[in-house]
Amino acid sequence: MGGAEGAGFEPATGDGPPLTESAKARAASVRTAFDGLLQIRRLTGDVRADRPEDVPAPWELNRPVRAVALALESSGAPPSAVDAAGQRVSAGYRVRTGESAGSVRVDWAGPPGSGAANHEEEALAGCAEVLRGLGWTVLLYRGPRRRRYLEIEPPAGVPGVR
């Protein structure tokens, strides 16, 4: 999963520029990174659990935005993107630090007129399903202008949160 932050593979959070590498090359990079994440889970997971790979690993709990973004990108969900001026240019998921320590917020963002708000309920339901399947606790909220978003937290009782 790369060395230092900012080096190696970076999952799309939805706040970066549009992805420029070929879809095939990006998919291969995402697959390799996600397979690595699952291997980390198997190696560092709670040995008392029936399936330690179904619980977020300490690596994920210490880098929750990256872990959630990688999970969503590996599921095939499209990330949003912004141009050099910071204007949103595509609709998709947006992952960022949540309100409480160790939490992550996921919303469905898009440029004005993209209809992102019309698709957010279904799109966020898909994101929630992916993340719950990977052992995260997922809560759905309504924010300003009644826009929905997900708050992602480590499951209760998981050790390793820094």
Which pLDDT tens digit goes with each residue over 140-157? 999 888 899 999 999 886
Name the CA dihedral angle for 139, 128, 84, 147, rounded to a multiple of 10 degrees. -50
Query: Per-residue pLDDT for 2 more than 60?
Result: no
**pLDDT of residue 25 exceeding 90:** yes
Residues 108-141 pLDDT 10s: 999 999 999 999 999 999 999 999 999 999 999 9
Which pTM was predicted? 0.88
CA–CA dist 80, 94 (Å, integer): 6
**Phi, psi (degrees; rounded to nearest 5) at 55:** -125, 135
For 2-26, what is the mean pLDDT?
80
Q: Average pLDDT of the chain? A: 88
- Measured from the Cβ of residue 158, the count of other Cβ atoms closer than 10 Å reads 21
- pLDDT tens by residue, 62-79: 999 999 999 999 999 999
pLDDT of residue 49: 57
Per domain, the residue ranges of the chain are 23-153
The 8-class DSSP code of residue 75 comes to T
- What is the pLDDT at residue 44? 82
pLDDT for 3 beyond 90 = no
